[in-house]
Amino acid sequence: MCIRCHAETETELCTYCATLTRIEVERGFLHLESYLRKWAAFERWLERRVAV
């Protein structure tokens, strides 16, 4: 049974939910990447401030 939509399936996720989950995970990684980039920019800004 599918753990997301409870459809009858041999696997944990049906094909439809497996596809949706993959898209969500990829979007999550994009969010994480931009989040980490902002932190890196903040740390560079902080270093410049401390150096002055």
In whole angstroms, the minimum distance from the beta carbon of 9 to Zn ion comes to 7
The answer to whether residues 7 and 14 touch, using CB atoms and an 8 Å cutoff, is: yes
- What single DSSP character describes residue 30? H
Q: Does 1 bind Zn ion (CB under 5 A)?
A: no
Q: Does 23 bind Zn ion (CB under 5 A)?
A: no
Residue type, 30: L
Q: Does 4 bind Zn ion (CB under 5 A)?
A: yes
Stretch that binds Zn ion, among 7-15, 20-28, 31-39, 44-52 (CB under 5 A): 7-15
Longest dimension (CA), the chain: 64
